[in-house]
Amino acid sequence: MGRLSTHVLDTAKGKPAAGVRIMLYRISGQSHRKVTEVVTNADGRTDAPLLEGAKLTEGVYELVFCAGDYLRATGQAGEGVLFLDEIPIRFGVPDAGQHYHVPLLISPFAYSTYRGS
């Protein structure tokens, strides 16, 4: 049974990023269909997988992390224009039977991701 999960780490503070709003979209051609919206918990994770079982299908997805709201809330950014605000990560799911973990590591001026386990 496949599943999709994520978590967010604040590399500037060296701790999990709690309270980050995340939207998951299914991409098909020019269509973006919102699948779910969640907020990270105190451990920087979601309380449940974003998708699992039959809900996870092969295809293209996009996670949008509302990093700017988090950075402002934690005092790492002001009210003006931010270098990083919403961070989209588009990725493919070629085999819906596998586990796809897409973490985000953020700071006010950089981010990275990878396929985790």
pLDDT of residue 117: 86
Does pTM surpass 0.75? yes
pLDDT per residue as tens digits for the range 1-12: 899 999 999 999
Domain ranges for the chain: 3-113
> How confident is the model at residue 48, as a pLDDT?
97
pLDDT, tens digit (0-9, with 9 covering 90-100), for 11-41: 999 999 999 999 999 999 999 999 999 999 9
Strands (DSSP E) along the chain, which ranges? 3-5, 8-10, 15-16, 21-28, 31-39, 51-52, 59-66, 86-93, 99-101, 104-107, 110-113
| Matching residue, tokens 């269909």 | 33
The CATH number assigned to the domain with range 3-113 reads 2.60.40.180
